[in-house]
Structure 1
Amino acid sequence: MGEQRSKAVKVAEFLADHDGVISTDQARHLGMSHDEVYGKSIAGLWVRHAHSTFLSAEHRMTDIALLRIAALAHGGVIDRVSAASLHGLLVDLPTPVTLSVARSSHGARCAVDTTVRRRTFPAEDLATVRDVRTTALPLTVLAAAADLDDGIAIMDRALQARRVTLTQLRAALDRNCGAYGMAKARKLLASAEDLSESELERKFVRFLHRHKITGWRQQVWFGGRRLDFVWPELQIAVEMHGWAFHHDHTRWERDQQTTNMLSKAGWLPLIFTWERLEFAPDEVLRELTEAIDLRQRVA
């Protein structure tokens, strides 16, 4: 009786520590027999979500439970946006769950909606978070940044919070250079490493020349402040913004003051970021040409 009680306590503690998720192998390791596991399932006390993975009926399905079930069912590594959620970089868990399995792995049935890729990771790029196998934080940041539409934001936040460094991101990229999504991640990282204000302005100059946009001047002083680009006859000013982690709060306050000063003087202030210039140049072109056309009609 004491042995049975001890086993029951161990199982209950395991379920409490693992968000109600347990596999057949884990239950057997805790001393349960095959018949006992089967009995829990038949009685509805453990709800089967994969061939050998269950959620206790006493626990609700949470984001971390979904990740645990997917990882156990597939024998895989949580990666990309799901890993970002597991590491606390995202508030909500996006669906489907993203994970990778070994190339030799056989398919697994799982009630959790998943996107599975076949790949293995260098040991340096693996971690365990809350007892779930996942990609380490630097690779997670790179992969999630490549997957998300606003991927630059997740990399920016991780750098600002000093959860990762540029050196760590570069090392993870070099180890996984041929993997899915790393081409976009390489662009984002290169900009974070090398993008000075002068380089961003040179990029915008090339953009203006490529689209044959004229009438502008660069680095013009107005009201005691240096403006990146102006169309003086049309009273249009363009400020270029790079990555947030390169700037401090004082710089942000100064930018707001410049925008307000220009507006009060009758100028049209526009702000373009490196991200939009790199990944949405058509939007930048449309907004700029619409502003120029509008001012030309008014003039």
Structure 2
Amino acid sequence: MGSTKHHSLSGNAWELARRQHGVVARRQLLALGLTPQMVQHRLSKGRLHRIDRGIYTVGRPELTRRGRWTAAVLSCGGRAALSHASAAALWGFGAESTAWIEVSVPFPSPRRRAGIWVHRRPGLRAEDVVVEAGIPVTTPVRTLVDQAWRLGDIRLERSVNEADRLELIDPEALLAALARFPGQRGVRQLRGLLADRTFRFTDSELERRFLPIAAGAGLGAPQTQQELNGYRTDFYWPDLGLVVETDGLRYHRTPAQQARDRLRDQAHTAAGLANLRFTHQQIRYEPTSVAGTLRATVEQIRRGEERHRGGRGGP
């Protein structure tokens, strides 16, 4: 009976470690039913490896990047969360310093921890923290607010665009959410960026904006991201022979990019296709004009088809 219980406790500990990237806290092991003597026995046998006070790896001492993040959060207490640059790195829209892992706690944390930058934040709310990949972490919105004051305009715009591309945030929803953080450092920078007419959508956001405009102009659903004439196209209507490209670049196009755009447009024209290109500025702020251009182009295509059919049917 004792042996069965022992194996059950060990199995539970292993399962916990698997979910937490090979890391467990002493308090968690005790909560599972292990005694302090059991924990010490596993340490002496090399089944647990101490990496910080009350924090262990299970089975082997090496840690992955996510294991290190987990260990840092666990070492800071039960309500701690990965935050700032480390959270941005976990979410995939920012780079992390190699010197520190950043963790936020909503309570005083007097003990200094090697390699961990602890942010003491009494105002950190439960709704600002989620569990991603088994790690408590600040939400994408909270993370962008925390990071905004540190980043220059270009890096901040890149982070927002990447978060949008990963479908973690929507730029307009992010702008609305900033009202939840009055007086928070970083809000002003984000609000200025999102309200700025120079802010550029990612390709995914442009697609979401453009497709309703095209539908309102009477076009059906296009093929997207298709290889055509040696180039990947944004939108293609094969029944109309119409290609539409949208400029989703975050920054000004380089001469090399402009030259490639011309070659792409020329290849489509040489293949007998109608070819339109809209900027993100037009799609975001001039949708009526975009829709009008689409309607006029479709009408011209259809008139050309009618003339072609009439010519073939003549004497």
TM-score range, shorter chain: 0.5 to 0.7
How far has the Cα of 1:34 moved from its partner?
Answer: 0.7
1:73–1:109 contact (8 Å) kept in structure 2: no
TM-score scaled to structure 1, two decimals?
Answer: 0.61
Partner of 2:295: none
Question: For each residue in 1:126-153, what CA deviation from the matched residue of structure 2 results, as whole angstroms up to 9, or x when unmatched?
Answer: 2121332221122223333443452211
Q: Distance in 2 between matches of 1:30 and 1:125?
A: 28
Partner of 2:169: 164
Query: Would the alpha carbon gap of residues 161 and 67 (structure 1) be closer, same or farther in structure 2, given more than 3 Å must change?
Result: closer
1:174 aligns with 2:176: no
Query: Would the alpha carbon gap of residues 19 and 243 (structure 1) be closer, same or farther in structure 2, given more than 3 Å must change?
Result: same
Query: Would the alpha carbon gap of residues 8 and 171 (structure 1) be closer, same or farther in structure 2, given more than 3 Å must change?
Result: same
Query: Would the alpha carbon gap of residues 107 and 171 (structure 1) be closer, same or farther in structure 2, given more than 3 Å must change?
Result: farther
Partner of 1:80: 84
Query: Would the alpha carbon gap of residues 251 and 25 (structure 1) be closer, same or farther in structure 2, given more than 3 Å must change?
Result: same
Partner of 1:116: 118
Q: How does 1:227-266 map to 2 (within 5 A)?
A: 242-245=199-202, 249=234, 250-252=245-247, 259-260=258-259
Secondary structure class of the residue paired with 1:177: coil
Q: How does 1:63-102 map to 2 (within 5 A)?
A: 63-75=65-77, 76-90=80-94, 93-95=96-98, 96-102=100-106
Query: Would the alpha carbon gap of residues 43 and 183 (structure 1) be closer, same or farther in structure 2, given more than 3 Å must change?
Result: farther
How far has the Cα of 1:27 moved from its partner?
Answer: 0.5
Task: Give the counterpart letter for 1:26 in structure 2.
Answer: Q
Ranges in structure 1 where 5+ consecutive residues have no aligned partner: 201-241, 264-299
Task: Give the counterpart letter for 2:171 in structure 1.
Answer: L
Partner of 2:158: 153
Task: Give the counterpart letter for 1:251 in structure 2.
Answer: T
How far has the Cα of 1:62 moved from its partner?
Answer: 1.0
Query: Would the alpha carbon gap of residues 172 and 48 (structure 1) be closer, same or farther in structure 2, given more than 3 Å must change?
Result: farther
1:101–1:118 contact (8 Å) kept in structure 2: yes
Q: Distance in 2 between matches of 1:43 and 1:147?
A: 46
How far has the Cα of 1:189 moved from its partner?
Answer: 2.7
Query: Would the alpha carbon gap of residues 253 and 40 (structure 1) be closer, same or farther in structure 2, given more than 3 Å must change?
Result: closer
Question: For each residue in 1:39-58, what CA deviation from the matched residue of structure 2 results, as whole angstroms up to 9, or x when unmatched?
Answer: 32344432222221112242
1:186 aligns with 2:228: no
Q: Distance in 2 between matches of 1:83 and 1:258?
A: 33
Partner of 1:26: 28
1:81–1:147 contact (8 Å) kept in structure 2: no
2:19–2:134 contact (8 Å) kept in structure 1: no
Secondary structure class of the residue paired with 1:147: coil
Secondary structure class of the residue paired with 1:179: coil
Root-mean-square deviation (Å):
3.2
Secondary structure class of the residue paired with 2:247: helix
TM-score scaled to structure 2, two decimals?
Answer: 0.58
Q: Distance in 1 between matches of 2:83 and 2:183?
A: 16
Query: Would the alpha carbon gap of residues 97 and 27 (structure 1) be closer, same or farther in structure 2, given more than 3 Å must change?
Result: same
Question: For each residue in 1:261-293, what CA deviation from the matched residue of structure 2 results, as whole angstroms up to 9, or x when unmatched?
Answer: 9x9xxxxxxxxxxxxxxxxxxxxxxxxxxxxxx
Q: How does 1:214-229 map to 2 (within 5 A)?
A: none
Task: Give the counterpart letter for 1:54 in structure 2.
Answer: Y
Identical pairs, percent: 22
Query: Would the alpha carbon gap of residues 108 and 130 (structure 1) be closer, same or farther in structure 2, given more than 3 Å must change?
Result: farther
Secondary structure class of the residue paired with 1:61: coil
How far has the Cα of 1:36 moved from its partner?
Answer: 1.5
Question: For each residue in 1:179-221, what CA deviation from the matched residue of structure 2 results, as whole angstroms up to 9, or x when unmatched?
Answer: 3433333332332xxx1xxxx5xxxxxxxxxxxxxxxxxxxxx
2:148–2:187 contact (8 Å) kept in structure 1: no
Task: Give the counterpart letter for 1:84 in structure 2.
Answer: A
Q: Considering only CA atoms, is the larger Rg found in Structure 1 or Structure 2? A: 2
Q: Distance in 1 between matches of 2:21 and 2:71?
A: 10
1:9 aligns with 2:16: no
Task: Give the counterpart letter for 2:200 in structure 1.
Answer: W
2:103–2:117 contact (8 Å) kept in structure 1: yes
Ranges in structure 2 where 5+ consecutive residues have no aligned partner: 208-233, 235-244, 263-315
Q: Distance in 2 between matches of 1:45 and 1:37?
A: 9
Q: Distance in 2 between matches of 1:131 and 1:190?
A: 35
Task: Give the counterpart letter for 1:243 in structure 2.
Answer: R
Query: Would the alpha carbon gap of residues 253 and 58 (structure 1) be closer, same or farther in structure 2, given more than 3 Å must change?
Result: closer
Q: Among 128, 142, 151, which residue is 1:125 paired with?
A: 128
